Amino acid sequence: MIWYPYTQMKTMDEPIKIIGAEGIYLHTETQKLIDTTSSWWSVIHGYNNPELNAVLKEQVDVFSHVMLGGLTHDPVEKLSDKLKDMLPGDLNYCFYSDSGSVAVEVSLKMAIQYFFNQNKPLKKGIIALEHAYHGDTFKTMAVGDDEDYHLAFPEKEGVYHIKPDDAALESILIHHHETIAALIVEPLLQGAGGMKIYDVSFLEKAKQLCERYDVLLIFDEVATGFGRTGHRFVSDLVCPDIIVLGKALTAGYIGHAATVASEKIYQGFYSDNPDHALMHGPTFMGNPLACTVALKSFEIFEREDYLSKIKHIEAKLKENFKSFESNKVREVRILGGCLCIEVNDPKGLKGFKQYALKHGIHSRPFINYIYGMFPYIISDDALNKVCKVYKKWFEEIK
Ligand SMILES: Cc1ncc(COP(=O)(O)O)c(C=O)c1O
């Protein structure tokens, strides 16, 4: 018996059985559905990409896994070199994990221990944003701020939540910087907390303030990385001390994530004292299949100029929703390859999923949001069709 995610098992709808997947489509026994979720925003090249399939098959025949404890291999070395080249500033030191949540945990451990290693054990508090979502493990729930996800786990000790507002940040830093290790944000676009978008100026100011008050800046780019906001990484605009990557890192093929630290952070652990080491080591970190598929995915991303594709998706979405109005809708938000329609009342989304299915679209609305996090290979026709169906829903509901 399967226990499904984020679901009341007693009342859940029958899950849709997928028997195949190709490009932007999920195949059921009877339908080809346009997938608007990119499987939780990870499948950026679409499903069943022949190039990704080929490199995986090749690597399986070499070896599919060895631990990274005391061993190393070409795929992980190449991926680390590539990330060092791709990422801005001196974000050079890659620590791998098997999921975004764990990679965020690692970033928080890095930040807290960075100060512990300097004999500043009181600096272990974390500032995060209201509506933040950073994962489902304990510390990521604590820095998260969404009771729709984590109602039964309200512990927030040592965590401050603020709006993305310079004055609010400065006020906390002035009073508490001696007990604060880091500010963690989903930069520009807050995903699971409601696809909320804020301005880059907050990040610019946050970086200055963090430097002034000796607090580390962590960008959780698990969702925003690899083009989702229209930028390759938001870190290309403002460079943090630590970046966390996941989801699209491996193009939705294999769960993997990376926590990449700057020189300053790495040097905070690099010493003759064994107690200064980072004590973490997921069994599947640096998995060769994951590294191999990530490398090929980056190659396609660069070769096919995905940033132009994403700009085009953004323009098409804006065109589609230019004159859209509905008294059921609070706001339509569009950024890069992301569309969010926020409704006034979640009851207004009852039946939407079935409606979309009837029109050949797989959509997964949550709380009061309908969203589209499209594979970047989506055609104009498919995108226009999705927008048309989404808009029509609001015309047809009473
Ligand atoms: C910003 C952000 N951080 C972390 C995570 C957790 O990643 P994972 O589901 O791979 O644990 C997510 C997942 O949605 C996310 O959106």
Q: Whose CA is nearest to atom 7 of ligand 1?
A: 100
Question: Tokens 């870190």 appear where?
Answer: 235
* Calpha distance 55→303 (Å, rounded): 16
Which pLDDT value is given to residue 397? 82
Measured in angstroms, how far is the CA atom of residue 260 from the centroid of ligand 1?
16
CA dihedral 91, 298, 200, 39 (to 10 degrees): -120
Split at pLDDT 50, 70, 90, the class of 35 is very high
Q: Mean per-residue pLDDT for 72-76?
A: 98
* pLDDT for residue 398 is more than 90: no
Residues near 289 by beta carbon (within 8 Å), at least 6 away in sequence: 56, 59, 60, 64, 65, 75, 253, 254
Residues in the chain: 398
Which atom, in ligand 1's list, is nearest to the CA of 186? 1
**Tens of pLDDT, residues 166-222:** 999 999 999 999 999 999 999 999 999 999 999 999 999 999 999 999 999 999 999
Residue 262 CB–ligand 1 contact under 6 Å: no
Residue 246 CB–ligand 1 contact under 6 Å: yes
Q: Which domain holds residue 78?
A: 51-303
Residue 68 placed within a domain:
yes
Q: Mean per-residue pLDDT for 274-299?
A: 98
Catalytically annotated residue among 139, 196, 247, 316: 247
Residue 20 placed within a domain:
no
Measured in angstroms, how far is the CA atom of residue 272 from the centroid of ligand 1?
35
* pLDDT for residue 63 is more than 70: yes
Which pLDDT value is given to residue 149? 77
Reduced to 3 states, what is the DSSP secondary structure of residue 257? strand
Q: Mean per-residue pLDDT for 110-130?
A: 98
Reduced to 3 states, what is the DSSP secondary structure of residue 193? coil
Which pLDDT value is given to residue 152? 87
Residue 356 placed within a domain:
yes
Residue 233 placed within a domain:
yes
Percentage of the chain beyond pLDDT 70 is 100
Which pLDDT value is given to residue 139? 97
Measured in angstroms, how far is the CA atom of residue 37 from the centroid of ligand 1?
14
Q: Mean per-residue pLDDT for 38-52?
A: 98
Give the CA distances from residue 127 to residues 80, 114, 165, 168, 332, in Å, rounded to whole numbers and listed in that order.
29, 16, 12, 11, 28
Split at pLDDT 50, 70, 90, the class of 322 is very high
Reduced to 3 states, what is the DSSP secondary structure of residue 295? helix
Q: Whose CA is nearest to atom 10 of ligand 1?
A: 100
| 247 in catalytic set | yes
Task: Report the number of distinct structural domains present in the chain.
Answer: 2
Q: Whose CA is nearest to atom 16 of ligand 1?
A: 223
| 133 in catalytic set | yes
**Tens of pLDDT, residues 327-352:** 999 999 999 999 999 999 999 899 99
The CATH number of the domain holding residue 56 is 3.40.640.10
Are 350 and 260 members of one domain? no
The CATH number of the domain holding residue 337 is 3.90.1150.10
Residue 258 CB–ligand 1 contact under 6 Å: no
Are 271 and 354 members of one domain? no
Q: Mean per-residue pLDDT for 345-374?
A: 95
Which pLDDT value is given to residue 50? 98
Mean pLDDT in the chain? 97
Residue 386 placed within a domain:
no
Residue 220 CB–ligand 1 contact under 6 Å: yes
**H or E element in which residue 83 lies:** helix 74-86
Residue 198 placed within a domain:
yes
Percentage of the chain beyond pLDDT 90 is 96
Mutate to test the pocket of ligand 1, among 133, 218, 284 (most ligand atoms within 8 A of CB): 133
Q: Mean per-residue pLDDT for 140-145?
A: 96
Measured in angstroms, how far is the CA atom of residue 63 from the centroid of ligand 1?
28
Q: Mean per-residue pLDDT for 135-149?
A: 91
In 210-324, DSSP assigns E strands to 216-220, 242-245, 257-262
Which atom, in ligand 1's list, is nearest to the CA of 244? 3
Domain boundary among 247, 277, 303: 303
Tokens of 40: 């939780």
Split at pLDDT 50, 70, 90, the class of 320 is very high
